[in-house]
Amino acid sequence: MNATQEKLREEFDAYVAKDKKIEPKDWMPDGYRKTLIRQISQHAHSEVVGMLPEGNWITRAPSLQRKVILLAKVQDEAGHGLYLYSAAETLGVDRADLIDDLLSGKAKYSSIFNYPSLTWADMGAIGWLVDGSAIMNQVPLCRCSYGPYARAMTRVCREESFHQRQGYSIMMELMKGTKDQIDMAQDALNRWWWPSLMMFGPSDKNSTHSSQNMKWNIKRFSNDELRQRMVDMTVPQAELIGLKIPDPDLKWNEDTGHYDFGEIDWVEFNNVLSGNGPCNNERLEARNKAHDDGAWVREAALAYAEKKKTKE
Among 41, 213, 217, 228, binds ligand FAQ (CB under 6 A): 213
Is residue 111 close enough to count as binding ligand FAQ by CB under 6 A?
yes
Tell whether residue 273 is a contact of ligand FAQ (CB under 6 A).
Answer: yes
By CB atoms closer than 10 A (0-12, 13-18, 19+), residue 178 is exposed
Out of 28, 87, 130, 157, name the contact with ligand FAQ by CB under 6 A: 130
List Cα–Cα distances, 278 to 16, 64, 74, 283, in angstroms.
41, 30, 21, 10
Minimum CB distance to ligand FAQ, residue 269 (Å) = 7
Q: Which residues contact 306 (CB under 8 A, 6 or more apart)?
A: none
Number of residue whose CB is nearest ligand FAQ: 50
71-110 positions binding ligand FAQ, by CB under 6 A: 77, 108, 110
Q: Is 43 in the site for ligand FAQ (CB under 6 A)?
A: yes
If one asks whether residue 126 binds ligand FAQ (CB under 6 A), the answer comes out as: yes
In the chain the first and final C-alpha atoms are separated, in Å, by 47
DSSP letter for each residue of 122-135: HHHHIIIIIIHHHH
**Rounded (10°) CA dihedral 283, 142, 167, 163:** -80
User: Given the rule CB under 6 A, which of 15-23, 203-211, 244-252, 293-301 is the region that contacts ligand FAQ?
Assistant: 203-211
Residue type, 280: N
On whether the CB atoms of residues 103 and 287 are closer than 8 A, the answer is: yes
131 binds ligand FAQ (CB under 6 A): yes
Closer CB to ligand FAQ, residue 8 or residue 33?
33
Q: Which of 169, 207, 237, 288 binds ligand FAQ (CB under 6 A)?
A: 207
From 290, 229, 300, select the one nearest 258 (Cα to Cα): 229
User: In this structure, are residues 12 and 75 in contact, taking their beta carbons and an 8 Å threshold?
Assistant: no
234 part of the interface to ligand FAQ, by CB under 6 A: no
139 binds ligand FAQ (CB under 6 A): no
CB of 226 to ligand FAQ, least distance (A): 7
Residue 196 binds to ligand FAQ (criterion: CB under 6 A): no
Q: What angle do the packed helices 280-293 and 295-311 form, to 10 degrees?
A: 40
Pick one of 166, 186, 223, 234: the residue that binds ligand FAQ (CB under 6 A).
Answer: 223
Chain residues binding ligand FAQ by CB under 6 A are 38-39, 42-43, 46-47, 50, 77, 108, 110-111, 126, 130-131, 134, 137, 198-202, 207-210, 213, 219, 223, 273
